[in-house]
Amino acid sequence: TASFSVMGAICKADGQVSNDEIAIAKQVMGQMQLSPDQKKAAIALFNEGKKDDFPLLDILQQLKREIGFRPNLQRMFIEIQLYAAYADDVMHPEELRLLKKACEMLRFSQQEFTQLDAAIRAQFHHQQSGQGGKPAGISPKDAYAILNISKKASDAEVKRAYRRLISQHHPDKLVSKGLPEEMMKIATDRTHEIRQAYEKIKEERGL
């Protein structure tokens, strides 16, 4: 409920909802493999979020009560909103303002948000850079950004970053902490992207 309604608010934050943003919302629904009734409900929630009187703070407070302090679930929620924000290739200042408000409400640190923002931006760039809708080979620059590390990181630091991210996004672990089963596919796709980034860095370093 929070994911799709807040997504609607994020997409409307710059004044209008673009076709790319609608496509991203539908893509997330597709990844979740929602039933026809669930998809209808998700679209209704997305449209509610677009309204001028959408109670964003109330929805975020409710989400906070539901998930408590479970960083992995907070991270998944923020990741989904970042996908929506970058759907039209640029983060509008109003979209950033709403995302920061969500982080503040959920007590998701600014440092983590900045790192996650860079990682999702790199992941989105990788997914959109292919020809004919097929992602191109991941670049070393994007690989480091996806793992939230500097190119100067040691081999040991690269491995630690990879293991940490895989642990954070492991679908079974997330479900055990309360992630709706419908969101498992998103977590699985994110895990695949992290593995691709790690393999690219290993290849570049000859590991």
- Give the model confidence (pLDDT) of 94-142 as tens digits: 999 999 999 999 989 888 898 888 888 877 766 665 544 444 567 888 8
- Cα distance between residue 41 and residue 27, in whole Å: 15
DSSP label at residue 182: G
To the question of pTM greater than 0.75 for the whole model, the response is no
pLDDT computed for residue 125 by the predictor: 66
Which stretches of the chain drop beneath a pLDDT of 50? Answer: 131-135
pLDDT computed for residue 53 by the predictor: 93
AA letter at 159: K
pLDDT computed for residue 128 by the predictor: 62
CB atoms within 10 A of CB 1: 14
CB atoms within 10 A of CB 150: 12
Buried b (16+ CB within 10 A) or exposed e, 16-37: ebeeebbebbeebbebbebeee
- Cα distance between residue 112 and residue 78, in whole Å: 10
